Amino acid sequence: MPAKIIDGKALAAALRAELAIEVQALTARGHRPGLAVILAGDNAASRVYVRNKVKACEETGVRSELLEFPGSVTEAELLACIARLNADAGTHGVLVQLPLPKQINESRVLAAVSPAKDVDGFHTENLGALVAGTPGFVACTPGGVMKMLEHEGIELRGKRAVVVGRSTIVGKPVSLLLLQKDATVTICHSRTVGLAEITRQADVLVAAVGKDNLITAEMVKPGACVIDVGMNRLPDGKLVGDVDYAGVREVAGWITPVPGGVGPMTVAMLISNTVRSARQRAG
Ligand code: NDP
For the stretch 212-233, pLDDT in tens is 999 999 999 999 999 999 999 9
Same domain, 153 and 258: yes
Provide the domain count of the chain. 2
The catalytic residue among 53, 147, 172, 221 is 53
Tell me, yes or no, whether 4 lies in a domain. Answer: no
Q: What is the C-alpha separation between 212 and 66, in angstroms, rounded?
A: 32
Same domain, 146 and 109: no
Tell me, yes or no, whether 258 lies in a domain. Answer: yes
* Mean pLDDT across the chain: 98
Residue 87 maps to which CATH number? 3.40.50.10860
Same domain, 148 and 249: yes
Ligand 1 pocket mutation pick from 174, 192, 229 by most atoms within 8 angstroms of CB: 229
CA distances from 196 to 165, 185, 193, 202, 250 (A): 14, 15, 9, 10, 17
Same domain, 180 and 72: no
12: pLDDT strictly greater than 90: yes
In contact, 184 and 162? CB cutoff 8 Å: no
For residue 254, give the H/E element and its range.
strand 254-255
Query: Could you report the per-residue pLDDT of 97-135, keeping only the tens digit for each?
Result: 999 999 999 999 999 999 999 999 999 999 999 999 999
Tell me, yes or no, whether 23 lies in a domain. Answer: no
Tell me, yes or no, whether 20 lies in a domain. Answer: no
Its pTM stands at 0.97
What range defines the domain where residue 248 resides? 140-263
- Please work out whether the CB of residue 269 comes within 6 Å of at least one atom of ligand 1: no
Q: How many CB atoms lie within 10 A of CB 89?
A: 8
Same domain, 178 and 144: yes
Same domain, 251 and 157: yes
Is 139 strand, coil or helix?
coil
Cis omega (within 30 of 0) on the bond before 259?
Answer: yes
Please give the number of the atom of ligand 1 that sits closest to the Cα of 170: 25
> What confidence score (pLDDT) does residue 1 get?
85
- Whether 280 is catalytic: no
Of the three residues 65, 96, 114, the one that is the final residue of a domain is 114
| Confidence at 263, pLDDT banded by 50, 70, 90 | very high
Tell me, yes or no, whether 162 lies in a domain. Answer: yes
28: pLDDT strictly greater than 90: yes
Sign of the C-alpha dihedral, residues 119, 141, 17, 258? positive
Query: Could you report the per-residue pLDDT of 44-74, keeping only the tens digit for each?
Result: 999 999 999 999 999 999 999 999 999 999 9
| Confidence at 269, pLDDT banded by 50, 70, 90 | very high
Same domain, 98 and 175: no
- Whether 53 is catalytic: yes
Tell me, yes or no, whether 211 lies in a domain. Answer: yes
Of the three residues 56, 80, 114, the one that is the final residue of a domain is 114
Same domain, 91 and 167: no
Tell me, yes or no, whether 133 lies in a domain. Answer: no
- Please work out whether the CB of residue 102 comes within 6 Å of at least one atom of ligand 1: no
Q: What is the C-alpha separation between 96 and 37, in angstroms, rounded?
A: 6
Q: What is the mean pLDDT of residues 169-198?
A: 98
Same domain, 191 and 252: yes
Please give the number of the atom of ligand 1 that sits closest to the Cα of 261: 41
Same domain, 76 and 169: no
Atom 8 (ligand 1) nearest CA: 165
281: pLDDT strictly greater than 90: yes
In contact, 259 and 3? CB cutoff 8 Å: no
CA of 92 to the centre of ligand 1 (A): 29
Q: What is the mean pLDDT of residues 24-46?
A: 97
Q: From start to end of 14-126, where are the E strands?
A: 34-40, 63-69, 93-96
Residue 215 maps to which CATH number? 3.40.50.720
- Whether 228 is catalytic: no
